[in-house]
Structure formats: structure tokens, C-alpha cells
């Protein structure tokens, strides 16, 4: 077997290894269990109306009334027909969740590693470095599937770019870049893609500088940039439906312009408030948990040791003999006090990259080729500084105020995904060059030994200092805890946090020491390259695998039925036995009585209305939406006007505004209010609900959005409509008069279509208890399309002449049709250009001793 065929075989074997590793990690899927994820459970509730519509009509609705009074479904699970790139994504995700993500993390980085080293061994090693990054497993456990689906395409997209810029494989690079750019956008997490492109800007600048210095030709730079630009345009174009729809939608959401003016913002401020953007900023010291996972206690729900429990009980017994009191405080501390003591409000776990990977990455910054070294270093430093957010305001302020789109995203700590891509990359590039000299940049054995000793000694010495002096170096307590927890309990908590740090630091020391020893023995010709790579790979695998299992393990998997139908209406011993010790599932099962009450409301009253459920916190749950349209919901990208309403009334510190909440609920056609507890829910009918629509003849014009939102809480909205003075022209030539016998009846309801029969002796303004959205909705009176306006800050209103009429609303967003056409054209161009490129390669090398696989 020749060398080329051996490489193909080893690549195939590597892919099989990735499948086996993925399935081994997520082994409960073999027995049919499924992953139970918090955000996916929330998704199932919020998307229920959408999913039912799709199943019953074999088509899509791009509007749903399930949450927040109604909103587009672009960010809540909408499918775009004719979406070819999504079908390709489905092919890649052939394994059950979460094995699909794990496999793609491995396989995607394997391609990147192969591009930069041209060696399957280093590509395989790098794939495990990247694919086992702890943060990935934390977001999978939480249910951030869109984020994970975006991250899996980071590495192959970068591989395509490097194929063009570094390897000069223009055609293959164009194909890979176009495809994975398309898949990246298809995954629909713009924040992650945005962060990646901040890093790619450093690569572009690096190539520009290399061309200016004569390291590469200007011709190559311009050709490469043009090819990559075209590839990215086509990748974006393949997703035109979702991109155009989301671009249109985001302007009306909390990521768009402010509407209300306050002390904290002006009406024209764009994006989120600064405080919202900088929530979940990484602490400066916390960055070290890339190297030591529980440096700051790990997660907010970190499992404590038996020693901690023993010490806590002893400490409590020294304070009192009351066993009931001891047990109560013991349970409260063990289950309620987080081990995490960092700067963030809370966390599901650390962004641990691995002790071995961090050590090799630092080494790589001294040994790797310059064409990789500097741009990776620059992108990594920027990512870390931006991750600090509010802890490094000079830089954060510049990006929020001046860098386009940066203020659309929150949780700056998540930009560390860039580091989690680039550190494994520089690690394997440096490691490859440690064993294999590049003829263009020779490094001596003496230089390697010196750098190895300096870096190894520095990392090991630093780790040893933490092990020996952690108690004096760190406080093991954050400011929010000071003075709020009794000292005798806080002492035990601090001891446990110190114990966690020490255990992980000792492990890091051992892992780095082994890796350092292996590299040193290799330099002394005491150990072969292959054995060294195997040892490094196994040590890193052990390190990352065991830490990952703290946050995503077999306890996260449950019976398939419970994962697919988490909103149960009956609880029994059988279900409880299936739940085992899974606290999240037990919590879901505890809601059975509440769910049953919601189901009974929906079964008995099949009309269109909304429910206000106070039991779980109305604006952080989708239980209600699973059964019926809800005033509340759970989503990060709400419509701005609805979010304003929530903050202005439901979260108001002003008691006057809080007292006006019943008026707001009536305005939103809230027919039922659910209170009590999950075990004993109490249902109240709201007799004052305005209904689905009503006629008004009294118009109150106001001059600002602030006046508008203030007025709707105090006036009788069923008699008077609050209208912005900007819409006065709508009433020009129209007369309005009262008719006490007039009525509007809802005769047809679907998520994207409502129809009313009206009767009135006089012309009036019909106010519809449907959330105003300026794009996509069409209003018809007797089949003739008519304009409509905004009323009562966030509802729709339309002028209806006297007599009997049919009023109909349809959600038919033109952006979907337009986007579909562009998507298909872009994909067609991608296929055509790819085929032409392959044909050109075939003709160019036809009859020579080289073939296409060699060219690739």
C-alpha cells in the first residue's frame, strides 16, 4: 500500500475513532435514552403551537401566539422550505444527540489539523484537544444546541480559509470555505460567528503584513482574499431566508433601538443596555480556570466532597444540639450555597481547556511558525480581554460604542470559544514543529531544549505556587457572601473551595510534568515521536474526559418518553422511578398538577385567549405555552415593545404601576390567571378581559412612547385607544362614532391567520389584542388589503366602516419568499463553481502522474 492510500486509510480510521469516542461518552443513547436539557425543555413548550401547526398543515407558520402575546418564530424553531444547506447539516448530524456534536467537534478540528500539519497523527491529537473542551459539554448539558451547532463548524471553516491563504489550494479551499460558512450561518447563532470573525480579522491582517513584507506575493494575497470573499458571500447567501428574516426581526427586538427614554438610555440608543451586555463578565483571575478547572469553585452547582459534609455537620453540632435545626441548615448549605465564588452571577462550569493543552499552547507560541504564531496570539489576547467585560471597561466601552454589532450580544465570557479553538491549534502546530523542522524556519535542538525548560519550569513552578500557597493567594469568598453567611459555616465552605482548587492544581501539575518529561526524553532521543504522541494524547484525554464528566454525564440522560414529553399531567411511582435522582426531571414531574390544570383549561375552553401563570415566574417559563397561549414565556430575543411592557409594569418598583397590572392583563386578553402552588394550582377567571378584539370610538393621542405606555395602565382600554400622534394622518377623512350594539367576533384562529366578523352601525376603530409587528402582517377588510396602525403601545388597530364586514389578518412575510430565491441562487452558484473548479483540475492534471486526491 502506497503512502497516499495509507493516509486515506488512517483518515478513515480516525473518523471511526471519533464515532466510537462520541458514542462512548454519550453511551446512554445506546439503550435508547435521550439527553434532558433545560433550554430544550423550554423550547418544546414555546414551540408547541409551531410544531402542531407544522404537523397538522404540512407547512410552516412564521408567527406564533404561544409566548409573550405573540412573536415571529424565526428564533424559536422555524424551518425554511427550500433550505438546502440545512439538509446538508442534517446529513452531518447523523448521530443521536449529543454524540452528533461530539463527533463533529472531533471531525471538524481533524480537518483543520490536517490542513496545518499535513499529518493525520497531529490532526487526531488536536481533535481530542479541541473536541473535549469542557465548555462545549457544559453548553450541551444546558441545551444551548444552536451555540454547539455553530461551534462545530468553527474549525472546518478556518481550515478552508487556511487552505487558500497558506496552502494555496484555491479550488478546494473555496469549496470547503463556502460549505462550512453556509453551515456555520445555518446553525443560527450569530454571536458565536461574530466572535470567530473578530479572530479571523487577525488572520487577514497577518496575511496582509506578510504580503507587505514580501513573505508572500501580493498576487496571491489578492487572489486568495477574492476567492474567500466570494466563498463567504455564497455561504451567507445560502442562508438568505433566515438572515433576512432575522435582520428584519432584530430591529424590533431588545437587540434593536430603544423606544422609551429614561435616565439610563435615550430613545435612539441601539442594542441592549450596557449592563445587560456585560452580564456574565469573566473575572481576570477566573481566566486561569482554562488551566485549573475549579480554581474558583467550578460551577454554581458543583458537587461537594464527603469531607465537606462531615466538616459542616461537625461545625453545626458545635453550635447547637437541635438535630432538626442541624439537618435543616445542613441541607440548605449543601444544596443552596454555590462552590463557585467568581465574578459572574452564576455559572454552569468553567471554560476549562486542559492543563496539557494550555502547556503545549504556551510552548507553541515560542516554537510554531510565524505565519500562525502572531495572529493566533493577537486573537487570543483580544478574546481574553473582551471576556473580562465589566472587569476591563476601557476595552469593552470602545467595542460597545464603536465596533459594529458588538452591542447586540450579551455574556462577553462566551468569547472564550475563540481561545478554545486557537489554543489547541497553536498547540499542535508547535508540537509538530517540535518534532518536524520546517525548512523555511529552522530551529535548533538547543533552542527547543531551552524553550522547553523555560516554559515547562515556568508552568510547573506557577502550578506549585498555587498548590502550596493557595490559602494566602486567594480569598475563596466573593463580595456578595461577605457578612451574609455565619463565619463558622463560611470557614467550612472556604476549606472546601480550597480543597477543590488544590486537587485540580495537583492534577494539572502531574499532567504537565508527564508531558514535559515526554518531550524532554524525545529531545534526548530516549523516546520515539509516536510513543510521545500516544502518551500526550492519553494524558490529555484522561484530563479532559474526567472534568467534562462533572458537567455532562449519564445522569443527564433520561427515558426517551420523558425527554420527548417533559410536560406531564400525571405523576406516579413509575415515572418517579424513571426519574431516579435527576433533580431537573423530578422538578418537571412535580409540576404535574399544575400542568393538568392548564390542560383542563385548554380542553374546556377552546377559544383563543391567554393565560397568566404566576406559579413558576411568568417571564421565565414555557410550561403554560405548551398548553395554551401565554402572557409570559422564555426567550432572550423578545420584541422590544413587549419587553418594555414587562419592565414598566410587571417588574416596576413603583407600586402604582404594579397596581395597574390587572389593566394590562385585560388588554392582553388574559382570560385565566393561575396562582397557588405547583401541587395546588388555583385558577381564576378574569371577568374584565378585553377579548380578542373590540371597537373604540374614543381616541387619545399622545406625543411620545413614554406617554403611550403610561396611559394604557390607567385608562379604560376597552373604550379608549391610546394612539401615537405620529398616526394622526391615518384618521384623515375618517369619521368615528360610538355604537353600543357593535361587536367583533373571532371566527377563525390560526397562528398566522385570524378572521373576525364585525357589525356596527357606525364607523369605528377596531383594536385587536394581537402584538404589533410592522413587517409581514397584512390586514384585510372584506378581502381588500387596508393599512393598519399601532394602538395601546403594542397592539394592532384598523379602521372599520359601518355595516357588516369580515376583518382578516394574515402573516405572509415577503422576506421569506425573497430569501428563498436568493438562497437557491447562491447554492446553485456554489455547486456550479465547485464543479467547474473540479473539472478544471481534472483537465489540468489529466494524463500526468498526479491525481485529484494528491492535489487535495
Neighbours of 24 (CB within 10 A): 12
The Cα 80–Cα 820 span in angstroms is: 8
Helices then strands (H, E): number in the chain? 34, 18
Dihedral angle of Cα 422, 428, 431, 432, to the nearest 10 degrees: -130
Residue 371, C-alpha cell as written in the block: 505565519
The pLDDT of residue 583: 84
Cell of 726: 405620529
Strand partners, 764: 800
- Identify which of 112, 152, 117 has the alpha carbon closest to the alpha carbon of residue 131: 152
Beta strands in 540-594 (DSSP E): 557-558
479/507 Cα distance (integer angstroms):
29
Compute the half-sphere exposure of residue 152: CA atoms within 13 Å on the CB side of its CA: 25
C-alpha–C-alpha distance, residues 478 and 564, integer Å: 39
pLDDT number for residue 854: 47
Q: Which residues pair with 785 in a beta bridge?
A: 780
Closest Cα partner for 138 from 45, 41, 39?
39
The 8 Å CB, 24+ separation contacts for 266-273 are 267/705, 270/407, 271/400, 271/407, 271/408, 272/407, 272/408, 272/410
- For 284-328, how does the pLDDT look when each residue is reduced to its tens digit (9 = 90+)? 999 999 999 999 999 998 999 999 999 999 998 888 888 888 898
Distance, in Å, from the CA atom of 297 to the CA atom of 193, rounded to the nearest integer, reads: 30
H-helix segments, 410-548: 417-435, 445-473, 487-523, 529-548
Do residues 21 and 106 touch, judged by C-beta distance below 8 A?
yes
Does residue 162 contact residue 369 with C-beta atoms inside 8 Å? no
699-704, Cβ contacts within 8 angstroms, sequence gap of 24 or more? 699/723, 699/731, 699/736, 699/765, 701/725, 701/728, 704/261
Cell 392583563 identifies what position? 665
Residues 749, 307: Cα–Cα separation, whole Å: 60
Please state at what angle helix 487-523 crosses helix 445-473, rounded to 10 degrees. 170
Three-state secondary structure string covering 307-320? HHHHHHHHHHHCCC
Peptide bond into 736 cis (omega under 30): no
Q: Give pLDDT, residue 852.
A: 45
Residues of the chain with pLDDT under 50: 851-856
CA distances 157 to 115, 195, 199, Å, are: 11, 13, 12
**CA 301, 307, 308, 314 torsion-angle sign:** positive
Contact criterion met (CB below 8 Å) for 636 and 59: no
**Is 777 in a helix, a strand, or coil?**
strand
Specify the pLDDT at position 264: 59
Q: Which residues, other chains included, contact 614 with Cβ-Cβ below 8 Å and sequence gap of 6+?
A: 673, 674, 675
What is the rounded CA–CA span in Å between residue 207 and residue 375? 9
CB contact at 8 A, 826 and 237: yes
Mean pLDDT of the chain: 92
Residues in CB range of 9: below 8 A, 6 or more apart: 1
The conformation of residue 647, written as its DSSP 8-state character, comes to: I
Q: Are 272 and 408 in contact (CB under 8 A)?
A: yes
HSE, side-chain direction, 13 A CA sphere, residue 250 = 16
Nearest CA to 637 out of 417, 408, 799 is that of 408
What pLDDT is attached to residue 471? 86
14/9 Cα distance (integer angstroms): 9
**For residue range 484-510, what is the model confidence (pLDDT) as tens digits?**
888 899 999 999 999 999 999 999 999
Amino acid at each position: 500500500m502506497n503512502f497516499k492510500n495509507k493516509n486515506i486509510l488512517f483518515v478513515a480510521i480516525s473518523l471511526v475513532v471519533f464515532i466510537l469516542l462520541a458514542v462512548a461518552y454519550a453511551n446512554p443513547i445506546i439503550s435508547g435514552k435521550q439527553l434532558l436539557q433545560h433550554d430544550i425543555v423550554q423550547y418544546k413548550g414555546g414551540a408547541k403551537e409551531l410544531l402542531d401547526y407544522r404537523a397538522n398543515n404540512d407547512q410552516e407558520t412564521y408567527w406564533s401566539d404561544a409566548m409573550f402575546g405573540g412573536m415571529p418564530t424565526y428564533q424559536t424553531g422555524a424551518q425554511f422550505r427550500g433550505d438546502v444547506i440545512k439538509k446538508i447539516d442534517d446529513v452531518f448530524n447523523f448521530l443521536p444527540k449529543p454524540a452528533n456534536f461530539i463527533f463533529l467537534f472531533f471531525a471538524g478540528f481533524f480537518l483543520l489539523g490536517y490542513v496545518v500539519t499535513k499529518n493525520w497523527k497531529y490532526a487526531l491529537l488536536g481533535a481530542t484537544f479541541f473536541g473535549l473542551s469542557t465548555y462545549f459539554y457544559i453548553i450541551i448539558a444546558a441545551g444551548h444546541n444552536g451555540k454547539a451547532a455553530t461551534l462545530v463548524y468553527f474549525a472546518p471553516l478556518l481550515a478552508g480559509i487556511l487552505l487558500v491563504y497558506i496552502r494555496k489550494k484555491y479550488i478546494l479551499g473555496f469549496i470547503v470555505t463556502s460549505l462550512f460558512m453556509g453551515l456555520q450561518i445555518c446553525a443560527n447563532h450569530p454571536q458565536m460567528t461574530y466572535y470567530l470573525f473578530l479572530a479571523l480579522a487577525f488572520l487577514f491582517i497577518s496575511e496582509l503584513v506578510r504580503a507587505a513584507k514580501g513573505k508572500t506575493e501580493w498576487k496571491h494575497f489578492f487572489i486568495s482574499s477574492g476567492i474567500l470573499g466570494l466563498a463567504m458571500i455564497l455561504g451567507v447567501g445560502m442562508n438568505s431566508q433566515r438572515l433576512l428574516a432575522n435582520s428584519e426581526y432584530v430591529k424590533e427586538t431588545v437587540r434593536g433601538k430603544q423606544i422609551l427614554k429614561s435616565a439610563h438610555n435615550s430613545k435612539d440608543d441601539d442594542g441592549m443596555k450596557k449592563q445587560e451586555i456585560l452580564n456574565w463578565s469573566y473575572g481576570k483571575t477566573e481566566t486561569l480556570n482554562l488551566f485549573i478547572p475549579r480554581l474558583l469553585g467550578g460551577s454554581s452547582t458543583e458537587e461537594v466532597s464527603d469531607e465537606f459534609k462531615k466538616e459542616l455537620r461537625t461545625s453545626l453540632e458545635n453550635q447547637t444540639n437541635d438535630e432538626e435545626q442541624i439537618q435543616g441548615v445542613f441541607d440548605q448549605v449543601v444544596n443552596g450555597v454555590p462552590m463557585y465564588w467568581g465574578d459572574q452571577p452564576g455559572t454552569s462550569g468553567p471554560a476549562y481547556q486542559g492543563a496539557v493543552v494550555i502547556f503545549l499552547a504556551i510552548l507553541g507560541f515560542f516554537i510554531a511558525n510565524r505565519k500562525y504564531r502572531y495572529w493566533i496570539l493577537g486573537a487570543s489576547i483580544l478574546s481574553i480581554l473582551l471576556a473580562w467585560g465589566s472587569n476591563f471597561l476601557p476595552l469593552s466601552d470602545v467595542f460597545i460604542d464603536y465596533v459594529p454589532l458588538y452591542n447586540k450580544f450579551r455574556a462577553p465570557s462566551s468569547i472564550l470559544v475563540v481561545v478554545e479553538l486557537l489554543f489547541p491549534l497553536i498547540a499542535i502546530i508547535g508540537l509538530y514543529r517540535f518534532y518536524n523542522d520546517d525548512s523555511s524556519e529552522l530551529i535548533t535542538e538547543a533552542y527547543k531544549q531551552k524553550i522547553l525548560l523555560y516554559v515547562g519550569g515556568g508552568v510547573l513552578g506557577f502550578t506549585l505556587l498555587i498548590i502550596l500557597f493557595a490559602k494566602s493567594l486567594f480569598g475563596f469568598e466573593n463580595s456578595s457572601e461577605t457578612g451574609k453567611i455565619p463565619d463558622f459555616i463560611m470557614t467550612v465552605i472556604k476549606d472546601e473551595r480550597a480543597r477543590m482548587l488544590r486537587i485540580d492544581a495537583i492534577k494539572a501539575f502531574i499532567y504537565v510534568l508527564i508531558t514535559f518529561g515526554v518531550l524532554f526524553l524525545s529531545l534526548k532521543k530516549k523516546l520515539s515521536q509516536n510513543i510521545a504522541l500516544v502518551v500526550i494524547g492519553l494524558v490529555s484525554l484522561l484530563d479532559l474526559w474526567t472534568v467534562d464528566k462533572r458537567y455532562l454525564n449519564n445522569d443527564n440522560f433520561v427515558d426517551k418518553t420523558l425527554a420527548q414529553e417533559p410536560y406531564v399531567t400525571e405523576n406516579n411511582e413509575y415515572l418517579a422511578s424513571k426519574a431516579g435522582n435527576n433533580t431537573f426531571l423530578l422538578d418537571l414531574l412535580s409540576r404535574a398538577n399544575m400542568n393538568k390544570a392548564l390542560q383542563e383549561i385548554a380542553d374546556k375552553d377552546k377559544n383563543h385567549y391567554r393565560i397568566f401563570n404566576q406559579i413558576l415566574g411568568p417571564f421565565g417559563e414555557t410550561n403554560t405555552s405548551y398548553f395554551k397561549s401565554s402572557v409570559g414565556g422564555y426567550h432572550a430575543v423578545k420584541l422590544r415593545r413587549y419587553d418594555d411592557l414587562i419592565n414598566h409594569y410587571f417588574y416596576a418598583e413603583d407600586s402604582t404601576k404594579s397596581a395597574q397590572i390587572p389593566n394590562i392583563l385585560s388588554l392582553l386578553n388574559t382570560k385565566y390567571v393561575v396562582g397557588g402552588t405547583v401541587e395546588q394550582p388555583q385558577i381564576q377567571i378574569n371577568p374584565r378581559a378585553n377579548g380578542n378584539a373590540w371597537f373604540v370610538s374614543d381616541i387619545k393621542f399622545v406625543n411620545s412612547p413614554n406617554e403611550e405606555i403610561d396611559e394604557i395602565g390607567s385608562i379604560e382600554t376597552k373604550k379608549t385607544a391610546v394612539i401615537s400622534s405620529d398616526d394622526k394622518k391615518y384618521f384623515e377623512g375618517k369619521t368615528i362614532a360610538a355604537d353600543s350594539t357593535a361587536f367583533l367576533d373571532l371566527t377563525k384562529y390560526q397562528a398566522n391567520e385570524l378572521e373576525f366578523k364585525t357589525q356596527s352601525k357606525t364607523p369605528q376603530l377596531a383594536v385587536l389584542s394581537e402584538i404589533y409587528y410592522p413587517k409581514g402582517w397584512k390586514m384585510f377588510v372584506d378581502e381588500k388589503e387596508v393599512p393598519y396602525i399601532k394602538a395601546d403601545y403594542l397592539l394592532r388597530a384598523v379602521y372599520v366602516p359601518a355595516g357588516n364586514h369580515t376583518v382578516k389578518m394574515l402573516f405572509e412575510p415577503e422576506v421569506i419568499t425573497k430569501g428563498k430565491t436568493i438562497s437557491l441562487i447562491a447554492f446553485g452558484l456554489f455547486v456550479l463553481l465547485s464543479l467547474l473548479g473540479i473539472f478544471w483540475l481534472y483537465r489540468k492534471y489529466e494524463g500526468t502522474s498526479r491525481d485529484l486526491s494528491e492535489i487535495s
